[in-house]
Amino acid sequence: MLRWQTLYEGRWIFAILFLLAIASWFATPWLSLLFVALIIYTAAFFRDPEREAPTEANVVVAAADGVVADIVEIDETEVVKAKQKRVGIFLSVFDVHTNRAPVAGRISYRQHREGLCLDARSPDCSGKNESMTWAFENPRATIVVKQLTGAIARRIVGWSNVGDELKLGERFGMIRFGSRTEVYLPMDAEILVKIGDRVVGGKTIIARLP
């Protein structure tokens, strides 16, 4: 499903590809087919299907589509400033890149940080790459989500702001092209996924809170 807010993030890409397709048609018609194919791929990349979130009150859902790349215990130093369980999700260029709220709650923190664009498949990129950190707060817990650029991804988009109340699975932003999204969970959370699992943002339950 295509959605205007998501497609708008690719407006300049669509415009450039469209112009190149027209120009190449007059020069070398067969070459224009390549740009048409790229337009179709770009539209597929910016797809943003509707999702039905779980109804349980104590679950945490994946904040992004992709594959679980790592699950570690690590000190979260930006928001909760305590040891947390981190679930890292790698998004390939073929995944939906919209990010969704892992829990229902109020956004209590949003901070962008400049950085590098290292390969998002590496856990080391978490402390070095450009990122946007979010905190979702409700009576059960404060869940931190970090959006990270990758070697291809160069733009992090935030659609929500501090103070906004989001429902479970509601969209809050996206990352353009291959990237990584991390969800930080309390130490007493029960992790329900394993490395290598494919998850669906806003739908797949990755953990359960006490």
Residue 122 a catalytic site member: no
Domain residue ranges in the chain: 4-45, 59-208
For position 154, what pLDDT does the model report? Answer: 65
Q: From CA 70, how far away is CA 113, in angstroms rounded?
A: 22
What is the b/e burial string over 21-40, where b = at least 16 CB atoms within 10 angstroms of the residue's CB?
Answer: beebeeeeeeebeebbebbe
For position 130, what pLDDT does the model report? Answer: 87
Q: Which candidate in 126, 131, 160, 179 is catalytic?
A: 179
pLDDT digits (tens, 9 = 90+) for 84-114: 999 999 998 889 989 999 999 999 999 999 8
Q: Candidates 2.70.70, 2.60.120, 1.10.10, 3.40.50; correct CATH number of 59-208?
A: 2.70.70
For position 182, what pLDDT does the model report? Answer: 96
Q: From CA 39, how far away is CA 87, in angstroms rounded?
A: 33
pLDDT digits (tens, 9 = 90+) for 168-195: 999 999 987 768 999 999 999 999 999 9
For position 150, what pLDDT does the model report? Answer: 72
- Which residues of the chain register pLDDT less than 50? none
At residue 9's C-alpha, the angle toward residues 97 and 52, to 5°, is: 40
For position 117, what pLDDT does the model report? Answer: 67
For position 151, what pLDDT does the model report? Answer: 63
The token duo for 165 is 């109340």
